[in-house]
Amino acid sequence: MNDEIWQDFEKLTEQYSVAESNRAYLTEFRKSKKAILMAEAESIEPGMAIAKQERYAYSHHEYLELLSGYKAAVYEATALRFKIEAFKMRFERWRSKQATMRAEIGMR
């Protein structure tokens, strides 16, 4: 396989790393956002029950936007992971063909 293909693979793995780190960040930030919105709810109505604070946080437009971003991050990371897997399968197929060619040359 030529250098251009390896460069494409390196780019793909870099993109995957970025996408996966974004996904991980959003997973953790989701918890922070919930806490921030729950605190906001309590500041609006001091002594508000925890369940009511959670309902406020989960239904808040900022939390819903965050979930939309999380969905996109998961999609991107998953799509890139499967592209990497497909690349690995193509490489293994190429490697197998090379081994077969070497074996055929050795038989002659």
pLDDT in tens, 25-45: 999 999 999 999 999 999 999
Is 70 exceeded by the pLDDT of residue 108?
no
Q: How far apart are the first and last CA of the chain?
A: 25
State the pLDDT at residue 82.
95
More confident site: 101 or 38? 38
Residue 80's pLDDT band (cuts 50, 70, 90): very high
State the pLDDT at residue 42.
97
State the pLDDT at residue 73.
96
Residue 1's pLDDT band (cuts 50, 70, 90): low
| Cβ neighbour number for residue 25 with a 10 Å cutoff | 12
CB of 26 within 8 A of CB of 66?
Answer: yes
pLDDT in tens, 53-70: 999 999 999 999 999 999
Phi, psi of 46 (to 5 degrees): -55, 140
